[in-house]
Amino acid sequence: MTKPRALITGITGQDGSYLAEFLLSQGYEVVGLVRRSSMVSFERIAHLQDKVTIVSGDLLDEASLIEALGQHRPTEVYNLAAQSFVQTSFGQPVLTGETTALGVTRLLDAIRIVDPAIRFYQASSSEMFGKVREVPQCETTPFHPRSPYGVAKVYGHWITVNYRESYNLHASSGILFNHESPRRGLEFVTRKITHGVASIYLGRQDTLRLGNLDSMRDWGFAGDYVKAMWLMLQQDEPDDYVVCTGETHSVREFCELAFGHLNMNYKDYVQIDKAFFRPAEVDLLVGDPKKAKKILDWHTEVSFADLVSMMVDADLELLQGKLKGLS
């Protein structure tokens, strides 16, 4: 039997690396679409380089997407590529729209042209709920995005629904709440905290400057969330699903646990810096995972407390390794 073949955009990102590992473990051939840059950024998939095929392409360029699909003929496409940092979207709203919104149309259109039988996953986001209309948020909660990133994701979400309805594509959208890991980018608050905690513990840093400690997020482990993406594409019918833990915690609680893991008190080290506040904030996110649990039989395996400890331990190990390398 021929192996199923998946193409992942954003394979060099946090989720792309976990999804590639997961699909390989399921017997897939994995093709990763990577944009050109002057330095390769394969750190997160270095351990997979012999197992995945890399193809050059960019969400800003539809011809490159048509070429990649035509050359590799995947049966499933996971669109994880995006300008994914909310703060940057306020400074670069047009680039964010081109990539995170119109990039989805370019890819869907490439699929429609090359092979409309391809199953498609769109990485939608809880940022679309923004100024939340109800608590918890579910698949029917209206959107009210609060950043150019959130607005772009709403476009990406609806164009996915539109291509499903217009061209009968098997196109599903996962409305994923925040998910983190030791592979999270250093600019996101969880990794900024765990990396900061490890640096302070090792005496390499004295303070940690953060913005709004009161904002609340539904944080899960990225490794758990990529399974939900795959499960969506195994259903007979395409659909949209909220993927979350159903619990919410503040940035302050994250700090308490992360510093506490190494017997420190966050109040002794955290300084509030206005530079990290946003022009408009999403104050509270908490999802209702009922539909994903019932239809996909999906559930989380890593708790909030275990996620925080895992990330602090990984950063400690990383920094200790770097220090050893210097000595």
56 contact choice in ligand NAP, ligand G4F, none (CB below 5 to 8 Å, kind-dependent): none
CB of 17 to ligand G4F, least distance (A): 15
201: annotated active-site residue: no
Task: Say how far apart CA 227 and CA 18 lie, in whole Å.
Answer: 9
Roughly what angle, to the nearest 10 degrees, separates helices 189-201 and 251-261? 30
167 or 277, CB closer to ligand G4F?
277
CB of 15 to ligand G4F, least distance (A): 9
Residues in contact with ligand NAP by CB under 6 A are 9-10, 12-16, 35, 37, 41, 58-60, 80-84, 99, 123, 125, 176, 178-179, 185
12 contact choice in ligand G4F, ligand NAP, none (CB below 5 to 8 Å, kind-dependent): ligand NAP
CB of 147 to ligand NAP, least distance (A): 12
CB of 277 to ligand G4F, least distance (A): 7
Task: Say how far apart CA 233 and CA 241 lie, in whole Å.
Answer: 11
95 or 202, CB closer to ligand NAP?
95
CA 34, 157, 243, 198 dihedral sign is: positive
276 contact choice in ligand G4F, ligand NAP, none (CB below 5 to 8 Å, kind-dependent): ligand G4F
Could you tell me if 57 and 36 are in contact, meaning their C-beta atoms sit under 8 angstroms apart?
no
9 contact choice in ligand NAP, ligand G4F, none (CB below 5 to 8 Å, kind-dependent): ligand NAP
166: annotated active-site residue: no
How would DSSP label each residue in 147-200? Answer: SHHHHHHHHHHHHHHHHHHHH--EEEEEEEPPEE-TTS-TTSHHHHHHHHHHHH
Q: Which entry of 127, 201, 256, 266 is annotated as an active-site residue? A: 127
241: annotated active-site residue: no
Phi, psi of 240 (to 5 degrees): -115, 140
Q: Which entry of 89, 124, 125, 215 is annotated as an active-site residue? A: 125
38 or 263, CB closer to ligand NAP?
38
What Cα–Cα distance (Å) separates residue 86 from each residue in 20, 96, 97, 148, 272?
Answer: 25, 9, 12, 8, 19
CB of 189 to ligand NAP, least distance (A): 11
Tokens (6 digits) for 226: 């990529």
Roughly what angle, to the nearest 10 degrees, separates helices 103-114 and 62-72? 40
The catalytic residue positions are: 125, 127, 149
